[in-house]
Amino acid sequence: MKFGVVVFPGSNCDRDMMEALQINLQQEVIQLWHKDKDLGMFSTDDCIVLPGGFSYGDYLRCGAIARFSPMMQSIIEFANKGGKVLGVCNGFQILCESGLLPGVLLRNSQQQFVCKNIFMKAAENGSAPLMIPVAHGEGRFYANDAGLQELEQNRQIIYRYCDEKGDITESANPNGALQNIAGICNKERNVFGMMPHPERACSLALGNVDGKNVFNHLFGIN
């Protein structure tokens, strides 16, 4: 499997993502520039990653400008053909702005930037909680009642914030996201978005390899 990591002006997690994929997970990685358009080197078995950071300084809304970059137009076409796309933090915001994922990421309920380790777990398979870092000011997932119902019915909620025991509680929610939603996917299950940073938890040197479980869960790699 091959991964492409997009770099926008203001991205600051692209190197972390590339290192995690290339060094810790032994995957082929190609860096992609936001002004380019060519994804001809990728097949629908591959994955394009939108990393975290502050694309275009988060002006207007987080991801609102990056959504119109030339590369994003190609990524939308790629996803519509069945290609895999992963957005982490700012990447998740860009996917929501582009319409590839439903909902929106609002300002954290406490109106403060949060940067810490949190626990989350896969919504479907009853897996053990994973300790994954978060670092964001606008990570509060919101959708209207109809949108939430559709996410539930289509099993599109892939991760929820929980405590270290795996219990989904209000106190375990770092940003006030509805229903403790930490990550979702599209109906076709080829586009994934999440606020936590699994790439920051893939190395023993960092004292945490729980992030590898995320990549294994989504893409079958470890």
Per-domain residue ranges of the chain: 2-219
- Say if pTM beats, i.e. exceeds, 0.85: yes
Q: In what order do the strands lie in the sheet with 157-162?
A: 28-33, 2-7, 47-50, 84-88, 191-194, 181-185, 157-162, 114-122, 130-136
Task: Note the pLDDT of residue 58.
Answer: 81
- Output the pLDDT for position 222: 75
138 is catalytic: no
Is 28 in the active site? no
What six digits make up the tokens of 208?
Answer: 């945490």
Confidence of residue 94 (pLDDT cuts 50, 70, 90): very high
Average confidence (pLDDT) over 60-88:
95
Superfamily of domain 2-219: Class I glutamine amidotransferase (GATase) domain (3.40.50.880)
Cβ neighbours for 100, distance < 8 A, ≥ 6 positions apart = 75, 76, 79, 85, 186, 191
Catalytic residue, candidates 13, 47, 62, 89:
89
pLDDT above 70 as % of the chain? 100
Q: Which of 97, 197, 202, 217 is catalytic?
A: 197
186-208: pLDDT as tens digits: 999 999 999 999 999 999 999 99
**R_g of the chain, CA atoms, integer Å:** 16
| Confidence class for position 126, pLDDT limits 50, 70, 90 | confident
pLDDT at 77 over 80: yes
pLDDT digits (tens, 9 = 90+) for 130-152: 999 999 999 999 999 999 999 99
Has 199 been annotated as catalytic?
A: yes
Q: Please tell me the predicted confidence (pLDDT) of residue 98.
A: 96
What pLDDT was estimated at residue 59? 80
